[in-house]
Copies of this chain bind each other. A is one copy, B any other.
Amino acid sequence: MSALSPLTPHQATIFNLLKTLESEVSAQMIYAELRQQKHRLGLATVYRGLKHLQLQGAVQARLLSNGEAVYSLVSEEKLYVTCVKCGISVPLAYCPIDEQVLPQALSLRFKIFYHTLEFFGLCSPCLEQETVA
């Protein structure tokens, strides 16, 4: 991850909160938590801050099957097993060397139907926009 462009106080607050968490959190949860901590910010600011951090490559987002997005620091590659029925999504350790990951998933008693590997980043037009802007 390259150096972050300067963050506003709110953006830094959000970023710092994410640093203290080990699991993914939704924007709504971040909002609730920060309000709990007596920070005065709006929900829209949380969404905007997360978007900003994401465009910096500092934060990653993942969509749960209920349509909710969860955020975390950009980290080592992660592997999830998600139930297509109830939507439960559990993270697994993933070792790219040892492809014994499927048996591990099966040991959790998941019946696997399919999997998806996705890369996220900026497409060329958006990258240019970010670079000049």
Contact = CB atoms under 8 A, between A and B. Distances in A.
Interface of A: 54-55, 57, 60-63, 65, 67, 74-75, 77-86, 88-89, 94, 102, 105, 108-127, 129-130
Contact of A119 (B74, B115, B124): B115
- How many of these chains are in the complex? 2
A80 B119 contact: yes
Most buried by B among A102, A117, A126: A117
A27 to B, nearest CB: 13
Contacts of A54: 84, 113
A75 B113 CA distance: 10
A80 B110 CA distance: 24
Contact of A118 (B75, B82, B88): B82
Contacts of A112: 119-121
Given A84-B61, A85-B130, A130-B85, A119 B110 contact: yes
Contact of A83 (B88, B89, B117, B123): B123
A74 to B, nearest CB: 5
A46 to B, nearest CB: 17
